[in-house]
Structure 1
Amino acid sequence: MIKADLLLTNAEFVTLDSPASAVAVLGDRIVALEEVPAREVIDLGGAVVTPGFHDAHNHMAWFGLTLSEVDCRVTGLGDLYAAVEAAPDGEWVVGFGYDQNKCGGHPTRDGLDRVARGRKVWIKHTSGHMCVVNTPVLEALGLADSAVEVSGGLVVTDVQGRPTGLLQEQAQQLVTPLVLPYPVDTLVDAIDRAGRVYLGEGITSCVEAGIGGGWIGKSPVELEAYHRAREQGRLHVRVELMVAADALHEVVELGLGLDLGLRTGFGDDWLRIGPTKIFSDGSLIGHTAAMCHDFADTPGNHGYLQGDPESLRQQIIAAHRAGWRVATHAIGDAAVDLVLDAYEEAQRRFPRPDPRHRVEHFGVSRPDQVTRAARLGVIPVPQGRFVNEIGDGMLRALGPERSAWAYRQRSLLDAGLTVPGSSDRPVVAGAPLLGMHDMVNRRTSSGAEFTAAEAVTGLEALRAFTHGSAYASKQEHLKGTLSVGKLADLVVLSGNPVTTDRIKDIRVLRTMVGGQFRWSS
């Protein structure tokens, strides 16, 4: 009789599938959910075992890079300027994570100049949808005294027409020639650092939400960084890569694609190409999301699309026709309308079975849009953690009436949609247990209630960060539940997220990927 390699016993097994009294592993697969002969037996001392967590939308390389940048997640501009002033000497000061809603406004070029000691300064907003640079950077760009028009973006100016240093959306790409591409080995180091953090949080799989182009990409050969990390044993979790639509071009006989015809699905269980990533609009807290009505706190401003509507529509349809799954960033309800229109037209003109297209964020969605997404089989990808960390800013931007439409959970499930769990890290903290906690509790960081009617149960939150995310990646046959034949990816916890509303207090004890415990507390 063949023995299992490993048998896990004496635990509460939350399989999200069949009942289990034990979990047996052979190679990288689960082979039994009961006690069977095994070469090694581990008594888990009554801990809780769930499927490994799967972050359906994060920025792994970007997060890894932030671990070596100036932390600007502060509550006052004075603290931000102090952090810049204290940065180690060098040609550049690069910071991340500021939120004008929390620190009292955007930093300015002049404020940064006062503390920079002549260095170039580049401070990135927590949303990733804007940044602030100082005068030496603007001078290098020829923007010290006047702005330029940028399609899908804005060089913000003061009343005299002088650039303030704030660059929104596509205008951020003006800085690209000065700072990008990052060397591949720098990105490998970032991927390594990020993956080690992920294992400690119970993450076994994630989706990297945009590589290779646009303002989101860090290198035109970003895929090589992930491939190299894997070769060197430094890719610690399974990764699906969204390819930025900017990296796609016409390929002979194949339409829109990558050289050699690479597209969605190429790769294996550890590293594979997923959807193509398209940006339709911007940020809610940054007031650049494309809305059907003005923002409540900035009358006259209803955001904007990141491109010509017809061009965005054609891009989505072309990607669908070429066989890509499409993941389109859409936060404002006007952007959601455009994306759903394009998905419906694409499937009508070029039908294919179960395309499983996604709307990343689905940030502000009217009731009719929820119903329509369900009818089209589209996957919404909201971020539960946003409610806590940036919820106060969202409430101000939307006002009380439209806040009820923001970052829904309950109504999506009730409409029959499969909802994945995701963080958008490093926009907010990425630990899945924090995300689950906020899906259940729906409170902002100030303690304000954020549409309690959209709360879900602990079981539904756990299912989102496991089966829901696997489904969003068309990988539910391989992972997302503890089932015989699926990958042995699991997490050992100090408590059960299904039975407590204090999910954030649960500790990760061990993380297994592919039948091996790769992290232990």
Structure 2
Amino acid sequence: MTADADLVLDDAVVHGTGLAAPANAIAVKAGWVVAAGDAARAMTARRRMSLGGRTVIPGFHDGHVHTGRFGMGLRQVDLSDATSLDEVYERVARRAAELPAGSWLIAHSYDHTALGDRHPSRGPLDRVAPGHLVWLKHRTEHMGVANSRLLARAGVDRSTRVDGGTVDLDADGVPTGLLVETAQAFVNDLIVPVSHEELVQAIDAAHTHYLSQGVTSCQEAGVGGGWIGLSPDEALAYEDALARGMLRVRTVLMPSYEVLEPSGPHGELRLPDHLPHYFTDPLLRWGPVKIFADGALSTRTAAVTEDFCHHPGQTGLLQAEPETLRDRIVAAHRSGWQIATHAIGDRAIDVVLAAYQECLGHRLDDDPRFRIEHCSVVRPDQVTRMAALGVVPVMQNFFVEALGDVAEANLGPDRARWCYRLRSLLDRGVPVANSSDRPIAEGAPLRALHRMLVRRTASGAPFGEEERIDPLSALKVATWNPAFACRMEGEVGLLQPGYRADIAVLDDDPVTADPDRVGAITVAATFVNGELKYDAMGTGHPIE
């Protein structure tokens, strides 16, 4: 006799089913949820798994990641926990001793604030790794430090100038090695394109890591071009990873604006011909176009309206003139693209909101679903404008911990209250979507949930406590809202009949657990399309 379901997960606490209370079971057939609660329990199934009271939620959806960079970073020198310049140089020296002369030595995630507000510099790097091309990426990836050999290879000297970025000079007018924002392109042009196979392997490694954290969907925030892209053929690496069974997480590719080419009688912006314009597998699809407006908050390159604290005259950088940014946004919108603009400071957000307002005048889409990536410093008047324009902020709630202390230092206590907003946006009907921005910060979504509930910085200081939300709202911010951000809200983000069976099984319930313990909850299993992709429980416990 044919079974009603392929799989029933039983003896569970299931959230996201649409039922009035948590369900006790969920049934899956052909990759889709077909029933929940007693209706699921009553079904015959090819396999049943008793979860022993564990919690089942829709798989986490990371609304803004850089998978290639994260996967490659797993093999690079990790400086994220370095607390002194001496420690940075020691790690570089150790790796240099392992590498052949003349090779690249790349490290990631150094944090100048943890180094006494100081950056590494070329002189000490020359001493510890004289025979290598050394590139140290800041945790934000909005700046980096090169040694002299790499500066010379990149053609950077005291006369180098660049729009939208800076080459840092010492008192004698000599480059220190620090390249900020668009100045990184001198080095980036030497690193990219990353080889096709290296990208495929990076995707595989990153997705394996994502599954261990209950992540079943992610959105790649800028592929194929600009300073964030790793290869003009980046999309082909994802397509190949899918064909080889190495694309393990449902993926939305967001092309960088720089990838698009004018096409057709009116010059509409389209993907170049060598890239697939459509994918046939639901695990891979195109999403919004990614546009950069400004820099980062911790590096004081985010474009703000008032000076950064203790830095008179510094208001950050727009990565292009406001008119140019407006032209890019309007052109992409008129070409039919959903727009996702990186804007962190309130000055950058002003520019983006004005462009979005102009786009509405073209009336090409009744639901343009404009996005602002990061959307970090939001004035009260901007909250109102975002609600009126239907903007979706794709934010990194873990930044409350990772960057909260430096945000307050750079903005001061009054403006810090505008930073990493949550409840004030949700209360106005603005559907904030959670994301990690990894490798910029820790990507575990349960730790992001923790910061939505408790709002404390790495030092333990409270940060915008009035922006805390309840656990069920936090789950929605980390599951359904990111799906809404990329027009997948009818497909993933819930565990109702007709939704894909993308599921995370947790060892505790984040809805009822002590908020201080939510970040420590572990993932027991992860399913994509109803298939078990990560299993920390062994083989489960069949009932029949």
TM-score normalised per structure 2: 0.93
Retained in 2: the 8 A contact 1:108–1:164?
yes
2: distance between equivalents of 1:17 and 1:307?
Answer: 45
How many residue pairs are counted as aligned between the two chains? 520
User: Could you tell me whether the CA contact under 8 Å between 2:155 and 2:186 is conserved in 1?
Assistant: no
1:28 and 2:23 equivalent? no
Q: Please say if residues 3 and 46 of structure 2, whose CA atoms lie closer than 8 Å, have aligned partners that are also in contact.
A: no
What do you get for the CA RMSD once the two structures are aligned? 1.5
Question: Residue type matched to 1:78 in 2?
Answer: D
In the TM superposition, residue 342 of structure 1 has moved relative to its aligned partner by 0.3
What do residues 20-62 of structure 1 show as CA deviations (whole Å, max 9, x unaligned)? 3321111110111122111111111110000100000111111
Secondary structure at the counterpart of residue 86 of structure 1 = helix
Deviations 1:111-132 (A, max 9, x none): 2112113211000010010111
Answer whether contact 2:233 2:275 (CA < 8 A) is retained: no
Structure 1 residues 181, 418: closer, same or farther in 2, change over 3 A?
same
Partner of 1:513: 528
Which whole-Å deviations, capped at 9, do the CAs of 1:183-206 have from their partners, x for residues lacking one? 010000000000000000000000
SS in structure 2 at match of 1:150: coil
Moved over 4 A (4+): 260-268
Does the 8 A contact of 1:16 with 1:463 survive in 2? Answer: no
Secondary structure of the 2:178 match is strand
5 Å matches for 1:410-429? 410-429=423-442
Aligned to 2:225: 213
Mapped to 1, the partners of 2:17 and 2:164 lie a distance apart of 43
Q: Is the partner of 1:306 in helix, strand or coil?
A: coil
Amino acid in structure 2 at the alignment position of 1:201: Q
Q: Are 2:21 and 1:10 aligned? A: no
Hey, what does 2:61 align to over in structure 1?
Answer: 54
Measured in 1, the distance between the counterparts of 2:44 and 2:375 equals: 47
Residues 264 and 349 of structure 1, relative CA distance in 2, 3 Å threshold: farther
Shift of 1:220: 0.7
Distance between the aligned counterparts of 2:159 and 2:298, measured in 1?
23
Q: Give 5+ residue unaligned stretches, structure 1.
A: none
Alignment partner, residue 450 of structure 1: 463
Deviation at 1:266? Answer: 5.8
Check whether the contact 1:263–1:324 (CA below 8 A) recurs between aligned residues.
no
Q: Percent identity?
A: 46
The answer as to 2:386 corresponding to 1:373 is yes
Give SS of 1:239's match.
strand
1-structure distance, mates of 2:396, 2:496: 27
Deviation at 1:213?
0.6
Q: Give 1:77's aligned residue.
A: 85
Q: Secondary structure of 1:349's partner?
A: coil
Aligned equivalents of 2:466 and 2:151: distance in 1?
46
SS in 2 for 1:192: helix
**Contact 1:309–1:338 (CA<8 Å) still a contact in 2?**
yes
Q: Distance in 2 between matches of 1:194 and 1:355?
A: 31
Contact 1:173/1:215 (<8 A) preserved: yes
Residue 89 of structure 1: aligned partner = 99
Q: Distance in 1 between matches of 2:159 and 2:208?
A: 42
- Report if the CA contact (8 A) 1:420-1:469 is conserved: yes
- The amino acid that maps onto 1:473 is C
Aligned equivalent of 2:258: 246
- 2:497 alignment counterpart: 484
Q: Which amino acid aligns with 2:87?
A: D
- Alignment of 1:274 onto 2:287: yes
Q: Secondary structure in 2 aligned to 1:176?
A: helix
- Would you say the 8 A contact 1:210–1:243 is kept in 2? yes
Amino acid at match of 1:518: K
* Cα-to-partner distance string for 1:167-225 (whole Å, 9 max, x where unaligned): 11111111123221110100000000000000000000000111001110010100011
**1:64 paired residue number:** 71
Amino acid at match of 1:4: A
* 1:137 aligned residue (150, 156, 161): 150
TM (norm. structure 1) is 0.97
Q: Please tell me whether the aligned partners of residues 467 and 480 of structure 1 are also in contact (alpha carbons under 8 angstroms).
A: yes
